[in-house]
Structure 1
Amino acid sequence: MLQSSTLKFLTDLVQNNNREWFLENRNRYDDSKADLEKLVGTLITEVGKFHDLGNLQVKDCIFRINRDVRFSKNKDPYKSNLSAGIGPGGRSSGRVDYYLHIQPGGQSFLGGGMWDATAEQLAKYRQEVDYNADELKSIINDKEFREYYPEISGESLKTAPKGYPKDHPEIELLRRKQLFFIHRFSDKDVTSKGFADSIVKGMKLLKPYTDFMNYILYDANPEAEDIQL
């Protein structure tokens, strides 16, 4: 569980997103970050029982609260959330891992999936879907999986990708540029004693999907032709 004070800090930050206020309330941020670190430490221990995380440390998982505003119209210096990436290598692994997002107002969520794939990786994904979609579909259409992850996020092409017919039986999956599954938490969930257990359950359900995508996108080396994004 997280403390209600952590959500209160984030709520107040939205209303006071400037450096002066943040520095005046730095102790509140430090307490909130420590609160998240404690939770992530618990998650690493529990997830490590079914997923080899290597020598993953809490500090490797927590994302910075500072925003990169160089190329953004939004010049708020701080994010309105706390977040962590959990998996071998932590937040910077570049692979498909577990992502935990904490944001007040029912915007907290656990998720994971294909999000920032390159053209080559999308070609690998689509080739796998074209040749054998059954394995992927058996994972993401599993009843327990979809009950926990009812929301699919991400962009799709408006038409069939180059090289595939519009009437392909798996056209919906082939059109996907992103395939990210989300389970949302209310503020009450976040501050409840069963919060960590619920996250661990979600990560265990998500693991077959992340394993599948990591193999397709990173570990396998099929010959895949470039396709139109």
Structure 2
Amino acid sequence: MHVRDLKQYLAELAENNNRAWFVMNKPRYDILRAEFLELVIHLIAGISKFDPTIAQCNPKKALFRINRDMRFSREKIPYKTHFSAALTASGLKKPSQGGGPAYYFHVDQQGTLLFAGGEYMPPPDRLRAIRQRVLDDPAGFSKMLKNRNLVRTYGDLQEEGKLTRPPKGFAADGPHAEYIKLKSFIVWQEMPVPKDSDVLEKTLMAGFKDAWPLIDWLRQV
């Protein structure tokens, strides 16, 4: 895909986030969207080599819509300023839908690439099951966290939205008590988006493969 063109388009959209500009530039959007879809197709094929379940992912459904949901938002701008996709075995992107572990990435208007793996804000029943798995198999959880590739690329699990104390039913002095407080079990990394499309694809593939230990552990929950 034409990475430079995507960055330029998103930067201009951020400056002109209105329907009139979007409609005027719809041909540009359609071309970039098609190229982004092609990248997702390549990623599904590559990920399927170490995670065969991803072969079931529908690439078109993996892409997020560029339209923002403004129903409950104070910021009344109609369009997102990034292109994004989430690859899951179920084909469901949103955690609230029970999508399960996902490989996620986006490119934003500032030219930043973010890629991630895991489950972001899963629904209550799913989150409780994940926490219980940590308690039931603390050794397995520790082994996953210490995976060399996972640590090299991501470090530790992200702590965004972490509780100040363990949730009800979980002891404060139990195994991995600090991880029990997490609302998401996910890793992510940010960097400037590579200028070359082949390098971008290779970067994402390497990042997703390094996130596989966490994805695999979550699949067992």
TM range (shorter): 0.7 to 0.9
AA aligned to 1:184 is E
Which segment is superposed worse, 118-127 or 14-23? 118-127
Q: TM-score, normalised on structure 1? A: 0.85
Q: Does 1:161 align with 2:167?
A: yes
SS of 1:71's equivalent in the other structure is coil
Match of 2:27?
A: 27
SS of 2:189's equivalent in the other structure is strand
Offset of 1:162 from its aligned partner? 1.7
Aligned pairs for 1:98-109 within 5 A: 98-109=103-114
CA deviation profile, 1:47-81 (whole Å, cap 9, x unmatched): 12222224433212111100110111111100010
Match of 1:7?
A: 7
Q: Against the structure 1 CA distance between its residues 4 and 153, is the aligned structure 2 distance closer, same or farther, given a 3 Å change threshold? A: farther
- Contact map agreement 2:56 2:91 (CA 8 A) in 1: no
Structure 2 residues not aligned, in runs of 5+:
none
SS of 2:114's equivalent in the other structure is strand
Offset of 1:191 from its aligned partner? 3.5
Offset of 1:190 from its aligned partner? 5.2
Q: Against the structure 1 CA distance between its residues 154 and 179, is the aligned structure 2 distance closer, same or farther, given a 3 Å change threshold? A: farther
- Contact map agreement 2:159 2:182 (CA 8 A) in 1: no
AA aligned to 2:181 is R
- Contact map agreement 1:150 1:183 (CA 8 A) in 2: no
CA RMSD of aligned residues (A): 2.0
| Cα distance in 2 for residues equivalent to 1:158 and 1:202 | 30
Q: Against the structure 1 CA distance between its residues 68 and 87, is the aligned structure 2 distance closer, same or farther, given a 3 Å change threshold? A: same
Percent of aligned pairs sharing the same letter: 29
Q: Does 1:142 align with 2:147?
A: yes
Offset of 1:2 from its aligned partner? 4.3
CA deviation profile, 1:159-203 (whole Å, cap 9, x unmatched): 12223332334111111111221021303x253532211211121
Offset of 1:8 from its aligned partner? 0.6
CA deviation profile, 1:133-167 (whole Å, cap 9, x unmatched): 22122222223212211362532111122233323
Aligned pairs for 1:56-67 within 5 A: 56-67=57-68
Q: Against the structure 1 CA distance between its residues 198 and 170, is the aligned structure 2 distance closer, same or farther, given a 3 Å change threshold? A: same
SS of 1:158's equivalent in the other structure is coil
Match of 2:184?
A: 178
SS of 1:116's equivalent in the other structure is coil
- Contact map agreement 1:153 1:182 (CA 8 A) in 2: no
Q: Does 1:212 align with 2:217?
A: yes
Q: TM-score, normalised on structure 2? A: 0.88
User: Number of matched residues?
Assistant: 215
